[in-house]
Amino acid sequence: MDWLVWIPAFVGHVGICSFFFNRTHATAWPQFWRKLIEKIVVLGSAFPLLALPIWLWISGSVSFFAQVQASWLLAAYLWFCVAASVFFLVTWLWRINHYRVPQTWQNRGSEVIDAERELKTRLTHGLLAQTLRWFPGNEATKISFDDYRISLRKIPQGSQLKICQITDLHLTGQIDVAYFRLLVERVNRWQPDLVFVTGDIVDEPHCLDWIPSIFEPLRAKVGKYYILGNHDRRIRPESELRKRLVATGLTRVAGEWLMVDTEAGTLALAGNELPWFAGAEALQPLPGQTDCIRILLTHSPDQIEWAKQFGFDLIFAGHTHGGQIRLPIFGPMICPSRYGVRYASGPFQVGSGLMHVSRGISGDRPIRIKCPPEVGFFTLVSPVPESQADG
Ligand SMILES: [Fe+2]
């Protein structure tokens, strides 16, 4: 019978640990403190799993559960965890029951490539990456090119706009530069009008030298634009990173509207790098420009409430990596967001607009289970007229 209490208590305990992990990683706290909390949480969540068999072994026939019950403090925490497991289960059921794919959104399928097979070479470097590559189901060196269609009333009939989103490259040296060059080659084949790079580009300073070979060949008919993310703070000064990105033809989108003319109409682009880099606070509402397509590039989906005041038609976000590891049935557990795993990845309705949160391409730990790296291909089209839809 102990297990009937122990299992939900353990689930609740892991849920509490991931709750704190996710929220602290959504802040702009210094990396040292976030990493320290991460280690405490990882050890803390693993402790009961390790402690239980050890304790049973040491104590012989004495029940671990009985030992816990003997201490009022441990017993209180045990039952708190049981209650937490019920809370997490209810909120999870509520979330999956209330989620609706936006009506303007259409998933047209994915092409997944194995980059190591394509390039006929091993792409992982360093002890961590070489170890993780053997983890069963690790998809860190694959790339999923996901094809989406979005209906937007502001797109004229017969026109379309092709947008590619690349985010969370996390250039660390653990995944070879050839992987990113292959990715860019495939993006160029799709011939996008615009490319958006939405942050977490470079983790390690020595990878700054990779920037020209990755981003200079990247082609976009109208333009390519970028914002930075939290991991880009590891490059000091960050102006060096921005300078190198701009030298490849990328344009920074920050605290003011950038008006961009396309064959499908005028775009009003804005960027948000909060809470890690200032700039977005200065953005003012766009007066009298109701016809232009308002697009936001934001590293974190946590800026969703800030975004609502500007009436964006489309929001492109990254940062959460889709959780990187997705459990069967339950999905992701770890997601650096104040909303937990709610905006881990996928399309979400935001007022009359739409937010897409990308799974991103990589991470500082190259592991992905049931969460392949994503390059998003978005084709914006006019909605089908009702008369044609009926026919
Ligand atoms: Fe990231």
State the distance from the centre of ligand 1 to the C-alpha of 10, rounded, in angstroms: 29
- pLDDT given for residue 66 in this prediction: 72
- pLDDT given for residue 213 in this prediction: 97
State the distance from the centre of ligand 1 to the C-alpha of 359, rounded, in angstroms: 9
User: Cα separation of 131 and 273, whole Å?
Assistant: 33
Those residues whose C-beta lies under 8 Å from the C-beta of residue 194, and which sit 6 or more positions away, are 161, 162, 163, 164, 220, 221, 222, 223, 224, 225, 260, 262, 267
52 and 116 in a single domain? The answer is no
State the distance from the centre of ligand 1 to the C-alpha of 51, rounded, in angstroms: 33
87 and 127 in a single domain? The answer is no
- Residues with pLDDT less than 70, the chain: 1, 45-46, 48-57, 59-65, 67, 289, 386-391
What element of type H or E holds 226? strand 223-227
Amino acid identity, residue 219?
R
309 and 253 in a single domain? The answer is yes
Render pLDDT for 369-379 as a digit per residue (tens, 0 to 9): 999 999 999 99
Q: Supply the range of the domain harboring residue 31.
A: 2-98
19 and 128 in a single domain? The answer is no
85 and 117 in a single domain? The answer is no
- Nearest in space to 355 (alpha carbons), one of 295, 306, 309: 295
b/e per residue 117-146 (b: at least 16 CB within 10 A): ebbeeebbeeeebeebbeeeebbbbbbbbb
State the distance from the centre of ligand 1 to the C-alpha of 91, rounded, in angstroms: 26
Residue holding tokens 């009008």?
193
110 and 91 in a single domain? The answer is no
47 and 153 in a single domain? The answer is no
- Nearest in space to 265 (alpha carbons), one of 107, 192, 158: 158
Question: How many independent structural domains does the chain possess?
Answer: 2
Last residue of a domain, one of 47, 71, 98: 98
State the distance from the centre of ligand 1 to the C-alpha of 53, rounded, in angstroms: 36
State the distance from the centre of ligand 1 to the C-alpha of 336, rounded, in angstroms: 9
> Do 12 and 82 meet the contact criterion of CB atoms below 8 Å apart?
yes
160 and 83 in a single domain? The answer is no
201 and 272 in a single domain? The answer is yes
161 and 112 in a single domain? The answer is yes
Task: Specify which residues 376 forms β-bridges with.
Answer: 146, 165
State the distance from the centre of ligand 1 to the C-alpha of 112, rounded, in angstroms: 21
CATH classification at residue 200: 3.60.21.10
State the distance from the centre of ligand 1 to the C-alpha of 63, rounded, in angstroms: 43
User: Cα separation of 48 and 55, whole Å?
Assistant: 10
317 and 242 in a single domain? The answer is yes
Last residue of a domain, one of 75, 98, 121: 98
User: Cα separation of 308 and 252, whole Å?
Assistant: 22
Last residue of a domain, one of 98, 120, 142: 98
- pLDDT given for residue 212 in this prediction: 97
State the distance from the centre of ligand 1 to the C-alpha of 229, rounded, in angstroms: 7
Task: Specify which residues 110 forms β-bridges with.
Answer: 146
133 and 246 in a single domain? The answer is yes
